[in-house]
Structure 1
Amino acid sequence: MSRQPQRRPRARKERGESAVGQRFEAEVGPVAHGGHCVVRHADRVVFVRHALPGERVLVEITEGTAGDRFWRGDAVEVLSASPDRVTAPCPYAGPGLCGGCDFQHVSLSRQRSLKGEVVAEQLRRLAKLDVEVVVEAVPGDTEGLGWRTRQRYVPLPGGRQGMRQHRSHEVVPVEKCLLEATSGPTFEARGTHFDVADGGFWQVHPGAPDTLVGAVLEALAPQPGERALDLYAGVGLFSRFLLDAVGADGRVCAIEGDAAATKLAKRNCPGLHATAGDVGEVLATTYDESFDLVVLDPPRVGAKRKVVEQIVDRRPRAVAYVACDPAALARDLAIFAEHGYRLTSLRAFDLFPMTHHVECVALLEKD
Structure 2
Amino acid sequence: MTGGSEPMAGPAVGDELDLTIGPVAHGGHFVARHEGRVVFVRHALTGERVRARVTEEPAGGGGRFLRADAIEVFEPSPHRVSAPCALARPDGCGGCDFQHVEVAEQRRLKTAVVREQLQRLAGIEADVECEAVPGDDHGLRWRTRMQYVALPGGRRGLRKHRSHDVVEVVDCPIEHPDGRVTVGGRPEDPDDAVETVLGRRFRVAADGFWQVHPGAPRALVETVLEQLAPRPGERVLDLYAGVGLFSAFLAGAVGAAGSVVAVESDRRASAYAAGNLADLPQASVVTDRVDRWLHRGQEPVDLVVLDPPRAGAKRRIVEDIAGLAPRAVAYVACDPAALARDLAYFAASGYGLAALRCLDLFPMTHHVECVALLTSL
Q: Compute the displacement of 1:178 (Å).
A: 0.6
1:274 to 285, 299, 313: 285
Q: Compute the displacement of 1:196 (Å).
A: 1.1
Across the two proteins, how many residue pairs are aligned to each other?
Answer: 351
> Contact (CA 8 Å) 1:45, 1:69: kept in 2 or not?
yes
Aligned match of 2:189? none
Q: Compute the displacement of 1:201 (Å).
A: 0.8
* 1:47 and 2:40 aligned: yes
Q: What CA distance in whole angstroms lies between the structure 1 residues aligned with 2:101 and 2:125?
A: 26
Give the secondary structure class of the aligned counterpart of 2:206: coil
Deviations 1:253-293 (A, max 9, x none): 1111112211221211132121111101001225x211110
> Contact (CA 8 Å) 2:11, 2:54: kept in 1 or not?
no
Q: What CA distance in whole angstroms lies between the structure 2 residues aligned with 1:229 and 1:236?
A: 11
> Contact (CA 8 Å) 1:188, 1:209: kept in 2 or not?
no
* 1:93 and 2:103 aligned: no
Matches within 5 A, 1:171-250: 171-184=166-179, 187-250=195-258
Aligned match of 2:54? 61
Q: Bigger CA drift: 39-48 or 176-185?
A: 176-185
* 1:23 and 2:31 aligned: no
> Contact (CA 8 Å) 1:117, 1:133: kept in 2 or not?
no
1:37 to 16, 30, 34: 30
Q: What CA distance in whole angstroms lies between the structure 2 residues aligned with 1:132 and 1:117?
A: 10
Determine what percentage of the aligned residue pairs are the same residue.
60
Q: Compute the displacement of 1:24 (Å).
A: 1.4
Q: What CA distance in whole angstroms lies between the structure 2 residues aligned with 1:21 and 1:98?
A: 19
Deviations 1:302-333 (A, max 9, x none): 00011101100000010000000000000000
Q: What's the TM-score, normalizing by structure 2?
A: 0.91
Deviations 1:160-198 (A, max 9, x none): 222111111222122111111010365121111111123
Deviations 1:328-351 (A, max 9, x none): 000000000001111011000000
Give the secondary structure class of the aligned counterpart of 1:143: coil
Q: Structure 1: which amino acid aligns with 2:116?
A: E
Aligned match of 1:6? none
Q: What CA distance in whole angstroms lies between the structure 2 residues aligned with 1:225 and 1:178?
A: 46
> Contact (CA 8 Å) 2:236, 2:304: kept in 1 or not?
yes
Give the secondary structure class of the aligned counterpart of 2:285: strand
Q: Compute the displacement of 1:300 (Å).
A: 0.2
Q: Bigger CA drift: 48-57 or 165-174?
A: 165-174
- Of structures 1 and 2, the larger Rg is shown by 2
Q: What CA distance in whole angstroms lies between the structure 1 residues aligned with 2:116 and 2:197?
A: 32
Aligned match of 1:136? 131
Aligned match of 2:295? 284
Q: Structure 2: which amino acid aligns with 1:177?
A: C
Aligned match of 2:121? 126
> Contact (CA 8 Å) 1:48, 1:75: kept in 2 or not?
yes
Q: What CA distance in whole angstroms lies between the structure 2 residues aligned with 1:188 and 1:298?
A: 23
Q: What CA distance in whole angstroms lies between the structure 2 residues aligned with 1:130 and 1:34?
A: 21
Aligned match of 1:337? 347
Aligned match of 2:106? 111
2:310 to 300, 308, 316: 300
> Contact (CA 8 Å) 2:21, 2:32: kept in 1 or not?
yes
Q: Structure 2: which amino acid aligns with 1:325?
A: D
Q: Compute the displacement of 1:79 (Å).
A: 0.5
Aligned match of 1:317? 327
Q: Compute the displacement of 1:107 (Å).
A: 0.3
Deviations 1:132-177 (A, max 9, x none): 2201101111111101111122222222222111111222122111
Greater share of residues in strand: 2
Q: Structure 2: which amino acid aligns with 1:353?
A: P
Q: Compute the displacement of 1:17 (Å).
A: 7.8
Give the secondary structure class of the aligned counterpart of 1:194: strand
Give the secondary structure class of the aligned counterpart of 2:177: coil
Q: Structure 2: which amino acid aligns with 1:326?
A: P
Q: What's the TM-score, normalizing by structure 1?
A: 0.93
> Contact (CA 8 Å) 2:237, 2:261: kept in 1 or not?
yes
Q: Compute the displacement of 1:69 (Å).
A: 2.4
Q: What CA distance in whole angstroms lies between the structure 2 residues aligned with 1:312 and 1:169?
A: 41
Q: Structure 1: which amino acid aligns with 2:346?
A: F
Question: Which has the higher relative contact order, 1 or 2, with Cα contacts under 8 A spaced 6 or more apart?
Answer: 1
Q: What CA distance in whole angstroms lies between the structure 2 residues aligned with 1:155 and 1:242?
A: 40
Q: What CA distance in whole angstroms lies between the structure 1 residues aligned with 2:78 and 2:223?
A: 33
> Contact (CA 8 Å) 2:240, 2:263: kept in 1 or not?
yes
Q: Bigger CA drift: 311-320 or 272-281?
A: 272-281
Q: Please, which runs of 5 or more residues in structure 1 have no aligned partner?
A: 1-15
> Contact (CA 8 Å) 1:115, 1:356: kept in 2 or not?
yes
Q: Compute the displacement of 1:54 (Å).
A: 0.8
Q: Structure 1: which amino acid aligns with 2:342?
A: D
Q: What CA distance in whole angstroms lies between the structure 2 residues aligned with 1:363 and 1:229?
A: 15
